[in-house]
Amino acid sequence: MTPRLVGLCCCAVLSAVSSGASATEVFNASTINYMDTYQSNPGTWTAPDTIFLLTSGSVGSCVGFWLSPSDPGYQANFATLLAAKLAERAIKVYALDTVLWGGSTDHYCRVDMIRLP
């Protein structure tokens, strides 16, 4: 199965890199509405994960997105996310909608890549 991308036109969206992963494509620009970094929670997650929501709302099945310091490319993704939030710029996020954040019962999808348009 070919991975599908969760996308935001003129925004950064997270990419599905695992074969067999599925995601939904969305085509609209968005800025970051909310962003927070949580402390680790033994038993649920072990690193200080960062979550964020887009102003445009849900993207496919993704209510929001998350990234972890243990992820490859975390520093670049986090720096891009923070810069976009501070500058109130739109981003494009590529994410896996099958890898969910353990810190919530809502559908937060795992970030693969964030880009500025």
104, part of any domain: yes
42, part of any domain: yes
pLDDT computed for residue 79 by the predictor: 94
pLDDT computed for residue 62 by the predictor: 86
109, part of any domain: yes
Q: Provide the token pair at 56.
A: 């445009």
3, part of any domain: no
pLDDT computed for residue 50 by the predictor: 92
Strands 108-115 and 64-67, how do they pair? parallel
Q: What average pLDDT values come out for the chain (117 residues) when binned by 10 residues?
A: 34 36 52 86 70 88 88 92 95 80 79 86
Range of the domain at 80: 12-115
94, part of any domain: yes
96, part of any domain: yes
Nearest to 14 by CA among 114, 86, 87, 81: 114
Of how many residues is the chain composed?
117
Between the CA of residue 111 and those of 13, 15, 52, 75, what are the distances in Å?
Answer: 8, 7, 10, 12
In this structure, are residues 112 and 12 in contact, taking their beta carbons and an 8 Å threshold?
Answer: no
99, part of any domain: yes
Number of domains in the chain: 1
63, part of any domain: yes
